[in-house]
Amino acid sequence: MPFNDRLKLIISNSNLTASAFADKINIQPSSISHVLSGRNKPSLEFIQKIISNFDNVNYDWLIDGKGEFNNVKSTLFDNIEPTIIKDNTPKTEIPKEEPQIETKKDTDSNKVVKIVFFHQDGSFKEYSN
């Protein structure tokens, strides 16, 4: 995807017009217009202003289209400190006899219907039955 298309995506995801986007990053509207049309390539200053004003935009994606557009990391658990719980219950020895494995036949009530993997970058992948 060319840079101007990536810029269009940022502008549309920000719910801004090109002019409002230019105001937000303190660039002349004509500069935005020239980059959007493909007439000009963005300057380093142009890219730095986008990154500094839109912290959700992935730098690598903006520069060369690699990776994901969104760079947002989940802050849901950022202020939660982990609690370490010590188990002080007395340990019992495991019997020396062979354990017996009980198998159960799958029923509709215990079938897996969905698995979701959450990634550090805030993205997720969902698999459904």
Domain ranges of the chain: 3-64
Give the SS3 label for residue 70. Answer: strand
Q: Would you say the C-alpha torsion 21, 27, 54, 37 has a positive or negative sign?
A: positive
Crossing angle of helices 44-53 and 18-25, rounded to 10°:
90
pLDDT number for residue 75: 47
Segments in the chain below pLDDT 70:
71-87, 91-110, 112-117, 119, 128-129
pLDDT the model gives residue 98:
67
Tell me how far apart the alpha carbons of residues 59 and 101 are, in angstroms, rounded to a whole number: 52
Q: Cα-flanking dihedrals φ and ψ of residue 126, to 5°?
A: -120, 135
Q: What is the pLDDT of residues 29-64, one digit of tens each?
A: 999 999 999 899 999 999 999 989 988 888 888 888
The architecture in CATH of the region 3-64 reads Orthogonal Bundle (1.10)
Q: What is the pLDDT of residue 110?
A: 63
Mean pLDDT, the chain, as a whole number?
78
pLDDT, position 57: 86
CA distance 117 to 78: 19
Task: Please give the share of the chain, as a percent, with pLDDT higher than 70.
Answer: 62
